[in-house]
Structure 1
């Protein structure tokens, strides 16, 4: 509103949410497209992803070099517990924003959460089914619930990950996998966590469970979108090339949709069936995040101290004058360092 850019009405911004990817990235790239079409979207994408990518890259280098040392393990011991609290708080916030008192959406949310927690992975057909149910059951005259989410189909050793130099085949596999993952991020970047866990840990065995939890923690430490955790994962797997291709892959779907489909956003956003589908996918995505909290909680809350760190962090996040998340994460890391140092 301050710059009075044409096409940035609330309706247009809601329409931008029809792209896959984290909500902030969707809106930022759409605003860039409104201002300067493809060039604007491209420059905004680089500005949006670049700083957090560089920060994650630095942390990745430090993790590879010092990750096996006791002090680094102590830091992530506390940070991982705080991350569970942050995810839980995010679920509560998303539930208030997207479900309301809609009983059907609550059923879809519960089903998605249970499936995710039970299978420890994000099953794509569950999202499609949750989108189709309200689209079929809701009649045209009914007003669908408002949704915030949407879905449309050079230092020495810097370039080397934990497994050594990567082959071209592995790099292409990383790019393809994370591009696919980017298609199933709905609104909150946390929705990608169960999808990544199923692929990175269970399917391809690129990371151990402990390394994956640390990757999620790194995304919480750095400013920017949560999905930038893929850069950390890519670096551990294939060094600098892996980090770069993972970051490109996960943001590529939202960029392409904004650039190619932006002229038609208004027409699609006003379609009631599309809105009903979006509401169902929104509920499924929120449920998947809740399931991810259960999955990661089983592996992060290992003892009484980590449970207490998580509970205290969650309490501080829920108070009216909440402490910023980065401060809580740093504090949790220091507590973990002290506790591990005494053990």
Structure 2
């Protein structure tokens, strides 16, 4: 875990929405530390609180250790602490070492061009995250027309209409979705 989260901090650029898809795909598909639904729970938790990157990665570290070590809370907390520390240590080193250079070259054409390409890549990664998470919501089982969760699809469309047509505040949409999700859980819809 130490190597993985240090590597994650060093090779991902663009913030939490670029790190999260990378981590999600590896911890779910390759390492199998978490299930797809556990990863979705971590992302949902992060979206209801400030600081999505720290929340998601700490959650992943906790759940990975918790799942791997027979549901031990103590080792889960150890995984959480290790993940948090080794995710952010390289970033602080980069900031302290790179800050003087960043100010000197901020107006350089090559730097501006590179940053615009990074921004384009970040948009692609966010779209990938949308598909990764959306698949788990729309197709809770296998990906087939018989497995489509039509209630979830209807809610997604409703929220999109509120967001795009009526410019509804995202905080209200998150709160409405939480209430809808809890109601759906209690009513077994």
> Considering the TM-score relative to the shorter chain, is it more than 0.5?
yes
SS of 1:186's partner is coil
TM-score, structure 1 normalization = 0.45
2:164 maps to: 318
**Aligned partners of 1:311, 1:283: CA distance in 2, in Å?**
26
1:329 maps to: 174
Higher helix fraction (1 or 2):
2
Q: Which of these residues, 7, 30, 38, is aligned with residue 203 of structure 1?
A: 30
1:300 aligns with 2:137: yes
SS of 1:338's partner is helix
Deviations for 1:259-312, whole angstroms, at most 9, x for unmatched residues?
112122222323322222222122112111112211211111231111122222
**Aligned partners of 1:330, 1:319: CA distance in 2, in Å?**
19
**Aligned partners of 1:316, 1:249: CA distance in 2, in Å?**
39
1:220 aligns with 2:47: yes
TM-score, structure 2 normalization = 0.79
The offset of 1:321, in angstroms, is 5.0
Unmatched tracts of structure 2, length 5 or more? 66-75, 140-148
**Aligned partners of 2:187, 2:52: CA distance in 1, in Å?**
35
Q: Which of these residues, 82, 99, 102, is aligned with residue 245 of structure 1?
A: 82
The offset of 1:185, in angstroms, is 4.0
SS of 1:183's partner is helix
SS of 1:205's partner is coil
1:187 aligns with 2:24: no
RMSD: 2.1
Higher relative contact order (CA 8 A, sep 6+): 1
1:177 maps to: 4
Larger radius of gyration: 1
The offset of 1:184, in angstroms, is 4.1
Unmatched tracts of structure 1, length 5 or more? 1-173
Runs of 4 or more, structure 1, over 4 Å off, are none
- Does the aligned pair in 1 maintain the 2:20–2:53 contact within 8 Å? no
SS of 1:252's partner is helix
Deviations for 1:106-157, whole angstroms, at most 9, x for unmatched residues?
xxxxxxxxxxxxxxxxxxxxxxxxxxxxxxxxxxxxxxxxxxxxxxxxxxxx
**Aligned partners of 1:321, 1:204: CA distance in 2, in Å?**
40
Q: Aligned pair count?
A: 169
